[in-house]
Structure formats: C-alpha cells, structure tokens
Structure 1
C-alpha cells in the first residue's frame, strides 16, 4: 500500500457508534481504508507512524466490540492512538497533529471524551485502568476499562505493580498486551488462535467455574493442586503463567491483524463474568506500509515524508544536533577511560547511545522503560568504581527523582546525568517538555548542575563530568540543532561553579547585567545589542552552573550594575530563585538593586513551533529588553531619561 485509497466505508464513520453499525465482514475493508488515511495524514504532518499502523485492526475491533466511551479505552503512551483519533470524531483534524492549536500526538482528556486518560509517558495504562474499573465497581456501573499496553512498556515495574492489585477490579478490567517487538511468545498460528478463542469462550469459562466450585469442596492441598493444574496446563499450551500468578486470566497469543480471531475473543472477554483478563495480541509495527515494515526503528517517529517512496524530509543540514554532539563527546571520553559506561532507558537512538553501543557494547546498558532502576543501577556502578553516564530525557528523569535523591545524592555517588530535551520541545508539547530538571536537581545537596549554552560548551561539560569524581553531576542540553559555533579540538575541564563573561566584565560599572543559563544565551546577546542601541550599557554572563552558583561573579555584577536579569529555560525554583536567595542572604536586596527573573511560565505550554513557544514564554530577546525597561520604569520612549 503506497497511495491513498478511496475511503467509502471510513467516510461513513464519525464515531464508534457509526462503526458498530457496519457488518463484521466490512471491517477488513474499513481497516485498510483507516491505515491508508493514517499514512497519508502522518506523511503530511510527521509524527509516530509504525506503532499506529500496527494496531489498526485492534483499534477497529476494540471500538466495535466495546461500548466506548462508556467502556474506557486507555492507550499506553499514545503513540499508537492515531487510528483511534480518526475513528472518534477527529478525522477532520488529523492533519493538524502536533501543530499549534491542533491535535495532540498523544491521548488528551481535554481533546475528546474518547480519551479518558492522558498518556505520553509509558506504562501508566494498567494503573489508570484499574482506577476506572474499581470506580465503576464501587458505583455499581457496568462499564469496563480496557488498557492497551505495548510489550516495551511492560519493562516498567509500574505495570506489574498495577497488575498485582488488579483482582480488586473484578471482571471490569481488560488488559491488551500488544506484543510487537519483544517476541514474548512463540509465533502466532492457527492453533494458538483456536486455543485463544476456546479458552475465552463462555463454554470453557463455564466449565472452568464449575471445576472451581467442585475444587472448593476438596481438602486445601487438593484445591491448590487443582488450581495449578488449570493454570499450568494453559500456560504450557500458550504461555502466560506469569500473568496468571498476578491474578489475570490469560488469553492468547492471537494475531492482532486477524479480525476473525480478534472479534470473537474480545466479545468473549467482554461478556466474561470472571475476574480481570489479559489478552496477548501479536502485531507488526508498520503493518501495511512497506518502508515502515522494513525499518520499524526509523519509522517509529517520522518527519514529513513522501507517501509513495517513504522518503522522509531531511533537515537542512548546518549545525549538528545537541544529541549527536553529546554522543560523539562521550565516545571520545570512553576511548580515554575504560571505566566510562552508558545507561539508557529504552531510548538508545533518541539519546545518541546507539553509537556508543556500537563502539562499546559491553559498556552500554539499555534497562528498558525503567528509569528508577536505571538510576539506582548507575549508583551501584559508581559505588564500585565505574563512571556511569545516565542519558535520560529531562521529562523521563522525573520518574526517578526518589532514586536520584536517596540512592545517588545522599550517598554522594559520582553518577553523571546527561539530560537531553531540556527546555521546550515543540511538537511533543507539555508532556515531553524539560521544564523542571534544574528545579528538582539544584535543590539537592552534593549535586552539581550545569547547562550548556551551545554545542561547544556541551563538549566541555561532558569532559568535566567524566573527570568529576566528587559526587553526582548533571548537565542539560536541548532538543534540536546547535548554534553553529566552532567546535573545540580539545575539551576543557571547567572549574566547578564558575561562569564566564561573554560581554563586558564584572568590574566595570554598567546599567544592565543579564545572567544567562543554557541556550537562551543567544537571545540574551541579541537583547544586549538592542539595549546598547537604546543607550543602556549591558553585560552578559553565561553562568554555566546553577549548582554551585558562581557567587563571586554574581556578587561583583550586582555591585556594578543597576539592573540584573536572570534568564533560563526552566520552571520557577531554578536559577532565578537561587540568585534571589543569594542576594537575600547577603543583604544585596537592601541596596536598591533591581533583580528580575525570567523563566518558563507557571503553566503547561501546548505544542507549537519552538521559537513560538519561547516567544509565548517571554524568553526571547524582545521580552528580555521589555523586562529591563520595565525594571528601569521606562518604556522605549522614555529611555532618554535612563541615560541621564
């Protein structure tokens, strides 16, 4: 399938109510039309492709059998929810995916009643589904909760924590394990599909319940033996003993693209009177689109692409991405020091560690979607003399905050945190924005926190972290391309807690000092040019460190300037808060000095173009200028007064 199909059946479907009016024999054609529509839409917008293509038939079957939205359908992460969005009243907006004012790339409660739970981080669906199911049970409502979780998301402990409590939901919880990569079970065939239909059928469940009642009359040892015989007999035939031990009735594996298997199994499970059920569905990422089938990793998340050829729109070149700069710098450090190892949480290509793994496979560890384990694992490595680098997106490191505190910082272990996607992230929106890492890390004793202003600074920070053994150290860098600065031939070891002046100096009396942390430095320098043009002498410092602060440099700048403005791409509680605390502690605020802090606003910003997002956050040069002028109690027309 390479071109857009006509969609006569899909044109009849606005909501799942319309879908349920179709005859079962029409669902194969509908699925083909839905797949074609999704390929064409993502080709024009970019986004997540392979995972959605893999669940087209499953999506159709779930909405056909279950009474959504009364039955709550919860998609884990949301990468695979594009077909779901098309079938639930959002087809007319599907080509606005991940754009400003458009559809989210993930499920979102405010977007549709068919999105009962927002999800962009992994492995939350079973816990949320259990909450919905138990709430229905307590209220006496018949609705079920259906959690669709990918096999990769099952690598997170949270999924098993939820399953361990699932018996509380009774028969109101259904978990769909979408096995599309890990090959948990043997290949699906006709026999396994037949067995799945058999063990989910009302006749089998009735016999099983009769056997249970009979077994209860037996002495306790025989009851236990009967239970285990039932579980392990089915486990030997089909797998799933682990899920049975967690309290689920296991069905599968079944072919997730075969509607003749999906529909009767889902119907049987829907009508079952027994407890929670797990259906093991095997699917193929990229199903139905040859380029995505042949290269599932490259077509998981895509740029805009040509639907006919599958060729993705290439970047315009220029400066390297921060992620690639980090990967190259870490490789160089690892070549010099065999104690350096790297840890990723199921994001080897996203963090650049796929390159590290090729060069040093024995020193590369992908722990799966298990950031908590990854951080404590790194702590153990550090305690035994290794130099672990944890490369984790800022938004995902939030999931391991307790481990950062308890297992790393309190023990003062030299774990290196490489924090990718710091700051705003454009199309992925609020769920993936790296807004909080400076705030939640810089509060911790023993922690060193750095932020790279450009790609050359990132190289220096990787080297500094590799050489630092006194405790934990973190450095943050954004998504996207660097600024195009010249790259250093040799990395420098930065002095811990020391910033640098990039315009003016700390000794000369000037009107304005801008203290920048991270990649807003370019905007700070633009603002300085504009302020100078207005007759306001301006110094600019790149602080490099928020923990520890360069108190000496800041103190001198406060003593020689009338206005000090801090600029950072993070939330309240970061650089600005630390500078204000220092000024308060030292009595500087009593001197009449004007200090203003510029940071991300106290809200979750929706998706959009990154520069537009930063404009809305008031962190671009014009807003920095406005902040300075406001501090001086002047607008642009009154600057002449300020000169005097």
Structure 2
C-alpha cells in the first residue's frame, strides 16, 4: 500500500491526516479516490456518491475534531471516504460482505459514525438534536450535517431546517449539490438551486461579501446583524427571489467548489467561528475523477463489478437465459396495463430506474410521476388521484414505505381508495443490510382494515396480481415482491384475473404441509422435491393472499395435516405465520405449527443466500425443519 498510496498509506485516522501540510491534501484526495475506485471495482457497492465528496470529506476531517465534533452523513452512500479515513482502510475490502463492515455509517462500528443512516433526509434533524444536547451541557462541540444526493427533496429535511432556524444551536448544514439522487433530481428545489449556482452576478457579489465578512465579524452583534440584513437583501434582489435558507433563519454561504480541498479547508475554518445555524452550499460532481462515472451517473451509483481501466461493467455470462429481475417484470407489466387502461398512472419517490418505472416514463411520460425522495407525499399524492377516479400504481421500496405508514392508514385505507402500492425490495435484500431489508411490511400492514395484501410466487403471478388489482377498484392493494431475479424465463403470459383471497395447492404431499407466501415458496418447493427422495412427501400451498386469508384452504389443510410449517420472508412477529396461527387457534383441533421467517432481531448485511441460511429459510433450513417435524414432536412456536 505505501508504494501505491504513499500518503494515504500513512493515514489510519483523522489525527494522521491533520499532520499533513495543506498542500498535501490534493494528492491525498487523488490517492483516496484511486483507493475507492480500486476497491469498488472488484467489491461492488455505492460508488459515484462517495467519489463526489472526497475533497469535502478530507476537508471536514482535517478541520474539525472528529469524533468529538459530530459528523452526520445523509443516506450514507456518500461515506466511503469517511470510513477509509477513520480506521477502516485495512478492512474496507469487507465492505457490505457477510460479517464485514457495513456499507453505511453504523454507530456499532465506529465512534466516528455518530449516527446510523441508510434512509435519506435524516441528517439535519439528527444533527440538530446533537447540537441542542451539546448546548444544554455547555459543550463547545461542532455538529455538521452533510446532506446531498437528492436528500433535500425529502420533507423531513425541510422539517429539520425549519426547526434549526428557530434555534440558535451551533449546527452547520453542508449541502452537497450534485443535482442527482440515483436518477437526476426533479422538482422546484432543483431549479432554485440551479438559479443560485448559475447566477454570475450573484456569485461575484457573494465572493465580495465573503471577503469582507471577516472584518465585520469583529465589530459586535449590531454590526453583524446589519451586514447580514444587507447581505440577504442584495442576494434576494440579485436572484429575484428571497433566499430560501436565509428565510428559514440559516446563514447561507456559497455556492462554492466542492472539489477545491484547500479552499474548503479555508471556508470551514472560517465557519467554525461563526455561531448559530448556517448552511454551506457546495457544488460537486457525482462520480468526480472517474470519467465513466461522471458520464453515466445513474449507472455508476452502484455499478456492480466493473473494469477499473475501461469502466465497462462486468457481466457474468450464463449458459442459459436468466429470468428477469422482478422490478423489470413490474415495469414492463405496468406499461402494458397503462396502454390497456387510460386511468392507470405510475408514481415513484425518486426511484424510476431502481423500480423500472422508467419503462413507463420513456413510453408514456405524461402517465408517470417522479415526486422526489418523498414517500409520504407519494402515497397521499396517489390517494388524491384515486379520489378523482384514477388508478395510481405507487411503487416504493418496502423499507422506505415504513416512512409513509400514517399516509397508508389515514389517506388511503381509511378512505378505502383504490391505490395500488407496489413494494419493491420486499424481504431480504442482501448487502445493503438492516436499513434496507423489507421484512416488516406484512406485519405492519396486516392490521390495517380495507387493504388487500398479496405476494407472488413467481413473475407470472406478479403480472396477474397487478392485472387483478386494477380491475378490483374496491380499495387499496399492496403487492410485495423481492429484489433480484425470479424463477421463470417464459413469463410474459396472457393476463388472468385471480380470485380474491384464494391460494392454491402447488404440490401434493402426505406427511406435512408447508404454507408459504411470496417467492420464498420456491425454496420450499426445492426442499420438498429433495425430501421426497427419502420418502418424506410434503404438500406445498401458495397462499398468495396475506389479507384476506384463504380460510377455506386453511380449513382443508387443518383437516388433512397434523404437522404444518409456515414460511415467509418477513418478520415472524405479527406476520403471515401469526395470521395462520390466529386462524388455527380459533378451531378445536389445532395442528402442530412451526413458523419459519425472519426472527425478532435486525438482520445485518450479506448475500441473500447467506442471510436466508442464517434465518433458516433456505432450502436446507426448510428441509431440516421438515425432517425434524416429521420425526419428532415439536411444540407450537
């Protein structure tokens, strides 16, 4: 490492970084950027966002006394450089791997990770809480929130800004403005920031004010207030509108070049001495320093394996055609349905490529809406459309839908509006870990009246569930499906309406029954096929509907089998297995039931295969449970 990274190789923590001269920071940034490129090209992870904040990260740790001074990252996929500089360089090759370091800041991992993140728009609120706590204790610590990659479009960020402006706590918000989330930013805020960054007159005035500001800061509070008032008035006149951030009572500085590390050091040192809430607007380029990532920012948000020299993504060749990703089945099916039914619209909170709604956007742009990172707004926006007779398909990642729970209850279910909520990334998602696993949706949605909840065994069922949902029009539907690929290559079958609340027998058996919901049922089918080789015959029932449950099918199973396994890729507490037990408990002769699913703990990161095995819901875990149940007496779990 010392030969390839002569400066970075000597840095194990921010104290080592501070020993360098300021002129050494430029080559340090170059080495740090190369280290990230080398690492992520062969160990996939989030890429472009971290390249875009290399200089900012180096400047922050050079100027501030971390971890005493608190540094809060928004989302967290900006934080690779931060992790490398704070003691994790030697283990960075384990990033996002099973039992390795997390891909996001994690309080359990390092004292430099002052706040755990994974979902967006949380940094300002968390930093403000820390700043107020420090103020109450009389601690003179600095608290910095770095928000970017589209996170400022989230409503929670504005709530934090509004509250920060109403307090005099010492908080610095750094806006990492790269005009991107995973896809390009959308909305009025994007246009507002663009106005600031492109106004030559305003930027010249800003520089003059900045140079003069130090002289006035020493003249006392009255002079400072006068300068601030004059500064705000002239800024507003030059931009032909009031400054949004200063309207919220945050001192606004910028925009500045977020890739000039020496200038950033100077500015951050100046800002340390200015009390109260303030915002520094940095202009950065997502993927900075790696041409392929700069030219294709969406693809290089999380590119997978790629050739470091050419930037070409490495695609593993397979002898047989692969099944499609579930998200692509959703996207192509939504387009088909939208062509068939003019009332259908698509809504996504900043995930058009992530959920494949870009397929609809490309063909019928007037029928699809990207509302920014704003899950709560997305759901109520969909409810408003449904109230006027439209059929909105609102696609949200399962773990992000948690943020819209009140809207699902109050704005959709209570009014029984026909919103179709498609929860992508349901179940175990893999390397993104605990913040992204979509394992709670069945448990938290099941108690809500009026909602139909379904999960497909395969791609054909997903198509048919989407088709049935837009026909039903009697209330909200939730369709949950996983990240990754399914089972079928021949999946584009003609649509078929499903009987509401009805499951199906997919495999006969005599010794026990497995009741499953969702694609995890394919693991049960594989297990049953192998168990038959040792003369254990397992019946497999694909329930399809969590709500309403197929009680006729459950009664059939109860009368046929005394030993039953329930299988789900969701939380055991309150989920599908609990629903089955509730039904059986109401009957006189209750069978033995073993529930398989996600245990009552947060599951960390790793490949889905590794995590299925850890939870006992892979083929081998199901086989072991079935074998034991057939051959021993087991209490109900």
TM-score, normalised on structure 2?
Answer: 0.92
1:397 counterpart = 2:401? yes
| 2:430–2:607 contact (8 Å) kept in structure 1 | yes
Q: Secondary structure at the match of 2:168?
A: helix
Tell me if structure 2 keeps the 8 A contact 1:244–1:250. yes
Following superposition, the deviation at residue 327 of structure 1 comes to: 0.6
Name the SS of the counterpart of 1:412 in structure 2.
Answer: coil
Give CA deviations for 1:342-377 in whole Å, capped at 9, x if unaligned. Answer: 000001000001111011111111110100000000
The equivalent residue for 1:186 is 197
Match of 1:267 in 2: 269
Partner of 1:287: 288
Question: Structure 2: how far apart are the matches of 1:295 and 1:196?
Answer: 37
The equivalences for 1:71-470 within 5 A come to 71-150=69-148, 152-167=150-165, 170-181=168-179, 182=190, 183-184=193-194, 185-187=196-198, 191=204, 194-195=207-208, 197-198=210-211, 201-207=213-219, 209-211=221-223, 229-236=230-237, 241-272=243-274, 274-316=275-317, 318-470=322-474
Map of 2:185 onto structure 1:
none
For 1:430 and 1:81, locate their aligned partners in 2 and report how far apart those are by CA, in whole Å.
Answer: 17
Please identify, of 566-575 and 189-198, the stretch whose mean Cα deviation from structure 2 is larger: 189-198
CA distance 1:5–1:420, shift in 2 (3 Å)? farther
State the SS of the aligned residue for 1:48.
coil
CA contact (8 A) 1:177 1:278 kept: yes
Q: Is the 8 A contact 1:327 1:353 kept in 2?
A: yes
Q: Note the C-alpha offset of 1:574.
A: 1.3
For residue 268 of structure 1, give the secondary structure of its aligned residue in structure 2. helix
The two structures have a TM-score, normalised by structure 1, of: 0.91
The equivalent of 1:494 in structure 2 is 498
Give the Cα–Cα distance (whole angstroms) in 1 for the partners of residues 169 and 443 of structure 2.
Answer: 43
Distance 1:360 1:534 in 2: 54
Q: Residues 337, 577 of structure 1: CA spacing in aligned structure 2 closer, same or farther, 3 A cutoff?
A: same
CA deviation digits over 1:75-130, x for unaligned, max 9?
Answer: 10011111111111111111211111222111111111110001110000000000
> Does the Cα contact within 8 Å between 2:502 and 2:550 map onto a contact in 1?
yes
The answer to whether residue 526 in structure 2 is matched with residue 526 in structure 1 is yes
Residues 303 and 227 of structure 1: CA distance in aligned 2, closer, same or farther (over 3 Å): closer
Secondary structure at 1:390 match in 2 = strand
CA distance in 2, matches of 1:212, 1:104: 44
Matched-pair contact (CA < 8 Å) for 1:425–1:434: yes
1:621 paired residue number: 619
Matches within 5 A, 1:1-16: 6-16=4-14
Alignment partners' CA distance in 2, 1:113 and 1:342: 42
Is the Cα contact below 8 Å between 2:326 and 2:484 reproduced in 1? yes
Q: 1:475 to 1:187 in 2, by over 3 A?
A: same
For 1:475-516, what per-residue CA distance to the aligned partner results, in whole angstroms no more than 9, with x for missing partners?
1111111112532430111111000110128xxxx3211111
Distance 1:378 1:49, change over 3 A: same
The CA distance in 2 between the partners of 1:591 and 1:243, in whole Å, is: 65
- Corresponding residue number in structure 1 for 2:184: none
The alpha-carbon deviation at position 407 of structure 1 amounts to 0.2
Match for residue 553 of structure 1?
553
Deviations 1:48-94 (A, max 9, x none): 11111111111111111111111001110011111111111111111
Show CA shifts across 1:559-614 (max 9, x none). Answer: 011211110100021111111111122x2xx4252122111111111111111110
Which stretch shows the higher mean deviation, 615-624 or 236-245?
A: 236-245
Return the offset for 1:198: 2.7
For residues 295 and 206 of structure 2, what CA distance do their matches in structure 1 show? 26
Name the CA distance, whole Å, in 1 between partners of 2:125 and 2:205. 29
Q: Secondary structure in 2 aligned to 1:302?
A: coil
Q: 2-side partners of 1:115 and 1:548: how far apart?
A: 43
Deviation at 1:230, TM superposition (A): 4.1
Q: Closer, same or farther in 2 for the Cα pair 1:197/1:66, shift >3 Å? A: farther
Equivalent position of 2:608 in the other structure? 610
Distance 1:405 1:196 in 2: 50
Shift of 1:170: 2.7
Aligned-partner Cα distance in 2 for 1:599–1:270? 50
Match of 2:183 in 1: none
Q: Distance in 2 between matches of 1:89 and 1:188?
A: 41
Residues 627 and 384 from structure 1, CA distance in 2 versus in 1: closer, same or farther, beyond 3 angstroms?
A: same
Range moving further from structure 2, 622-631 or 422-431: 622-631
Does 2:485 align with 1:481?
Answer: yes
Distance 1:128 1:248 in 2: 17
User: Contact between 1:195 and 1:252, CA under 8 Å: does it hold in 2?
Assistant: no
How far apart are the structure 1 equivalents of 2:361 and 2:13?
Answer: 45
1:304 deviation in Å?
A: 1.4
CA contact (8 A) 2:558 2:590 kept: no
| Residues 188 and 282, structure 1, Cα contact 8 Å, conserved in 2 | no
Is 1:342–1:365's contact at 8 Å kept on the other side of the alignment? yes
Q: What is the CA–CA distance in structure 1 between the aligned matches of 2:542 and 2:232, rounded to whole Å?
A: 63
